[in-house]
Amino acid sequence: MLQNEVLSPIIPSYIQQNVSLADKNWFKTGGAARFYATPHTADEFKQALLYARDNNLEIFILGQGANILISDDGFNGLVIKPHINTITILAHENNDHNNNTIFVKADAGVTMPHLIDYCLDNNIIGLEEFSGIPGTVGGSVYINLHYFNFLLADFVISAEIIHKKNGTIHTVDAQWFNFGYDDSKLQKQDYFLLSATFKLTRASSEQTAFAQGRKTEIIRHRAHRYPQAFTCGSFFRNFLPEEVSLEINNKKIIFVAYYLDKIGVKGTLQIGDALVSHQHANMIINTGNATSADIIAVAREMQKLVQTQYNILPQPECQLVGFKDYPLF
């Protein structure tokens, strides 16, 4: 839609116009959303989707903004940040009567740290493996959140999704998502997540105390290894085994940080206020007043250096939002 095209005269009260996004993502960069919605119910979410459909607006669903880079030009469409935040403990799901199994349903707007704390407060364990990772349930399911050998897909058992064009709500099982590494069917963006139900474990007080300690240790470990602000986390995804030829001890080296470490960008490659973190070679940080263009320039240089030396091209894990043309190689 062009900027001067006529929109529907009725704009729902929870849709604002020309809202800055720079304070709503971890990089603290980017322009404004042409339209910005904060639905508090599934029906408000539906009405926002229908407004976008009727006015031919592109849609972006925003969580905590921890894995995105927003164009300096902003987003010329509708940004939806769900404020549906209910957590429910379910008695049974799919006739699973294991006494230690418990099911927790969380809305898309619930943050993962809050969900983990809620579970531990109720002697429910499993999700603490993802402690210290920012993001909402919606965003975490979208990317199939992972940490070391743990994937969020290992815990998802069902979900409620809403159709982009007509707002119909469907209940689906985990197989529907076709989860992969950093991947799910939600990325086709025909449907958006309303809630997810997780299959977890009912714990004793001792088991919960152990899980609490594990949560603390994971957070401490992450704080030591990774920058905790002004970043999207890992900018590039790891390589697939078929994409690389380098082997050490007969094992393919798929970790993009290995190659970035070898070329020496950690803590040294900087353009404007965008700098490759001294803590991790695959993380770019905004050290002050970086623009998204600065971050893209650093990322492009990282790509070029790896391709020149190893003949492989890193691809982003960070989601690029609002760019009129794809800005990387």
pLDDT above 60: residue 5: no
pLDDT tens digits for range 275-315 = 999 999 999 999 999 999 999 999 999 999 999 999 999 99
Greatest CA separation found in the chain?
65
For the segment 117-123, the average pLDDT, to the nearest whole number, is 98
Which pLDDT score, from 0 to 100, does residue 181 have?
87
Residue 164 exposed, middle or buried by CB count within 10 Å (0-12, 13-18, 19+):
middle
Give domain 15-80's CATH number out of 3.40.50.2300, 3.40.50.300, 3.30.43.10, 3.40.50.720: 3.30.43.10
Q: Which pLDDT band holds residue 2 (cuts at 50, 70, 90)? A: very low
What is the CB-side half-sphere exposure of residue 200 using CA atoms within 13 A? 29
Q: Euclidean distance between the first and final Cα of the chain, in Å?
A: 27
pLDDT tens digits for range 58-98 = 999 999 999 999 999 999 999 999 999 999 999 765 545 56
Beta partners for residue 170, in sequence order: 161
Give domain 231-321's CATH number out of 3.20.20.10, 3.90.78.10, 3.30.70.260, 3.40.50.1370: 3.90.78.10
| Start-end of CATH 3.30.43.10 domains in the chain | 15-80
Q: Which pLDDT band holds residue 327 (cuts at 50, 70, 90)? A: very high
Residue type, 142: Y
Separation in Å, CA 164 to CA 33, 77, 149, 229, 234: 19, 14, 32, 32, 29
Residue the block writes with tokens 């602000």: 229
Which pLDDT score, from 0 to 100, does residue 97 have?
57
pLDDT tens digits for range 136-173 = 999 999 999 998 889 999 999 999 999 999 999 999 99
Which one-letter DSSP state was computed for residue 130? G
pLDDT above 80: residue 1: no
- Written as six digits, the tokens of 80 are 């939806």
| Start-end of CATH 3.90.78.10 domains in the chain | 231-321
Q: Would you say 173 and 214 are in contact if contact means Cβ atoms under 8 Å apart?
A: no
pLDDT above 60: residue 117: yes
State how far the Cα of 165 lies from the Cα of 176, in Å rounded to an integer: 19
Angle at 75 between CA 73 and CA 76, to 5 degrees: 100
State how far the Cα of 198 lies from the Cα of 137, in Å rounded to an integer: 11
State how far the Cα of 280 lies from the Cα of 269, in Å rounded to an integer: 12
How is domain 87-225 classified at the architecture level of CATH?
2-Layer Sandwich (3.30)
How many CB atoms are located within 10 Å of the residue 52 CB?
21
State how far the Cα of 73 lies from the Cα of 33, in Å rounded to an integer: 9
Residue the block writes with tokens 């009567």: 97
pLDDT tens digits for range 167-215 = 999 999 999 999 998 899 999 999 999 999 999 999 999 999 999 999 9
| Start-end of CATH 3.30.465.10 domains in the chain | 87-225
Reported pTM: 0.91
Q: Would you say 220 and 228 are in contact if contact means Cβ atoms under 8 Å apart?
A: no
- Backbone region of residue 114 per phi and psi (left: phi > 0; alpha: psi in -120 to 50; beta: other values): alpha
Which one-letter DSSP state was computed for residue 26? T
Which pLDDT score, from 0 to 100, does residue 163 have?
98
Q: Where are the alpha helices (DSSP H) in the chain?
A: 42-54, 112-121, 137-143, 205-225, 256-263, 292-310
Percent of the chain surpassing pLDDT 70: 95
